[in-house]
Structure 1
Amino acid sequence: MPANDQPPLWLRPEQGTRGPKPAHSWRDVALAAIRIADAEGLDAVSMRRVAAALGAGTTSLYRYVSKKDEVLELMGDEVQGELRNTALPAGWRDGLRTIARSLREVCLRHLWFANVLAGRAIHGPHSLRWRERTLSAFDGMDLGTDEMLAALGTLSAFVLGHVLGELADGEAARRSGLSHDQWMDREGEYGPMIMDSCAYPRFTRVMIEAELPHAADRQNRGFEAGLDRVPAGIAAHLPA
């Protein structure tokens, strides 16, 4: 098994330097792992499972990657390749909205991806092109690099936070067997006791007046409402 002090994945030759030519590519490894994660979740991805999906032995997979973390890097980079046709409109505010919607869409298409994206940055070719595209939203604004990174980091934190909430709600429904509406109805039985206690006047007002938690499209509406506020907050910290 290769040593842990190998150079970064993206500095190593994809086909290796010794032995016969490998039968597969990094992309083959990534796609096999993505199929497993899409079907069974990220925990199901292992060197053994990926090798089996490729029709190879586990040992032979180490010709391509040295550990599971590198498989995750390949997966994350491959999924970011799905963003390659994202065109940003003129204006940084609309550009950030497009970035956010595109990220949410790909995270909901690959339910494991948000966890990978929230980790350390990936520097594969697709990831670098996407990073370059997102930075282009600020072209012509004469901003410092730290200002741009802070803005994009704020946007990413909002998207990932919202997506993880959506995924957690779906997982809760799967575990409990209750849809969101069924859960709300059950929790509603507790409502009169909360209101009659008079101990939570602000939350009582929310229970009486709020419409969003009951809306069929609450996830989309909540996302768009939050997304309207993110550029406004970023704008408050940009130079005039």
Structure 2
Amino acid sequence: MDQPAPVIWMRPEQGARGPKATYRRDDVAAVAVRVADAEGIDAVSMRRIATELGVGVASLYRYVLRKDEVHELMTDAVMAELAGARTTGDWRADLRRFAHLLREVSLRHPWLPALAAGRLTHGPYSLRWTELTLAAFDGTGLGTDDMLLALGTLFSFVRGHVQAELAEQEAIRRSGLSNDEWLTQQGEYGPAIMNNGAYPRFTRVMIEAETPHAADRLQQAFESGLDRVLTGLSATIPEDVPDKKP
């Protein structure tokens, strides 16, 4: 069995042989990100990237060996948007800020959550983000595995919430109904559900719940969920480390 090629981050931009490349990997990433942002990740193909760059498909393999590497370049490229983040020494405030930043970049690039949920990308910007988020736990006394579990829990929550937000956007696009219009439509069905008597708990939700009607319901849900995640993580911090809440 042939040995796999070295990871893309270990290979030089320009091979030792052949004419000088017209573009750089950054150009490939920029084109792929632009296409994915506008049309979705499924629109990103080697042929489409080559067309956008004005080169032949075969010449694209001078920059990447397969589409998985394009995905790695794309992920690392957008992680550059988080390069300005810093730690403050307050783990809870830092993780809250990191969660907000990840949500923001994921909403700007809707394809990112699905790619980021898989194997980690070890490009330069991704590594800086990983190093930064791990640094939030400096001085807490947490072990390595506990730090990884804490970050995995936090960022899984962020990705899940973003996916729900993106699904809401897609539902509005597909149905043509805003959330208020959809609730009004569903309200016509409400009495039938309540009068049925088989759904007392959901009936209570329909009568009492206020958040589904709030204009900022998605923001409220994110903040409330994030508070609960951080409170849960605080139970893993050794008792002798002060929990400095923002």
**TM-score normalised per structure 1:** 0.96
C-alpha contact 1:16 1:64 (8 A) present in aligned 2:
no
Q: Which residue of 2 aligns with 1:169?
A: 168
Residue 71 of structure 1: aligned partner: 70
Whether the 8 Å CA contact 1:76–1:122 is kept in 2: the answer is: yes
- Distance in 2, Cα, partners of 1:4 & 1:112: 31
Deviation at 1:4, TM superposition (A): 8.2
Match of 1:30 in 2: 29
CA distance in 1, matches of 2:213, 2:87: 33
User: What are the equivalent positions in structure 2 for 1:172-187 lying under 5 Å apart?
Assistant: 172-187=171-186
Q: What one-letter code is carried by the residue in structure 2 that aligns with 1:96? A: L
Contact 1:14/1:26 (<8 A) preserved: yes
Q: Separation in 1 of the partners of 2:223 and 2:90?
A: 18
Residues 36 and 44 of structure 2 are in contact (CA less than 8 Å); yes or no, is this contact kept in structure 1? yes
Unaligned stretches of 5+ in structure 1?
A: none
Secondary structure of 1:187 counterpart: helix
Q: Does the C-alpha gap of structure 1 residues 42 and 4 become closer, same or farther in structure 2, counting only changes over 3 Å?
A: farther
What residue in structure 1 maps to residue 116 of structure 2? 117
Give the aligned residue type for 2:79: Q
Check whether the contact 2:9–2:123 (CA below 8 A) recurs between aligned residues. yes
Equivalent AA in structure 2 for residue 227 of structure 1: L
Whole-angstrom CA distance in 1 between matches of 2:238 and 2:85: 27
Local SS of the residue matching 2:86 = coil
Partner of 2:41: 42
Counterparts of 1:203-214 in structure 2, within 5 Å, are: 203-214=202-213
What letter matches 2:34 in structure 1? R
Structure 2 spans left out of the alignment, 5+ residues = 240-246
Please name the residue that 2:232 is paired with.
Answer: 233
Matched, 1:127 2:126: yes
Kindly provide the amino acid, as one letter, of the partner of residue 156 in structure 2.
A
User: 2:105 & 2:147 partners in 1: Cα distance?
Assistant: 23
2:35/2:43 contact within 8 Å kept: yes
Residue 163 to residue 4, structure 1, CA distance change in 2 (3 Å): farther
Alpha-carbon distance between aligned partners in 2 of 1:16 and 1:196, rounded to the nearest angstrom:
72
TM-aligned CA deviation for residue 179 of structure 1: 1.4
- Alpha-carbon deviations, 1:119-147, whole Å to 9, x = none? 11000000000000000110111211000
Who is 1:59 aligned against? 58
In structure 1, what is the equivalent of residue 243 of structure 2?
A: none
**Aligned-residue offset at 1:117:** 1.1
Structure 1 residues 90 and 238: CA distance shift in structure 2, 3 A: closer
Equivalent residue, structure 2, for 1:157: 156
Q: Note the C-alpha offset of 1:90.
A: 3.1
How far off is 1:189 after superposition? 1.4
The whole-number CA distance in structure 2 between the counterparts of 1:20 and 1:40 is 33
Letter matched to residue 69 of structure 2? E
Q: Provide the residue aligned with 2:96 in structure 1.
A: 97
CA contact (8 A) 1:162 1:223 kept: yes
Instruction: State the identity %.
Output: 61
Distance 1:127 1:42 in 2: 19
Aligned-pair Cα RMSD in Å: 1.3
Q: Deviations over 1:1-44 (max 9, x none)?
A: xx882121111112123211111111111001111111111111
* Corresponding pairs, count: 238
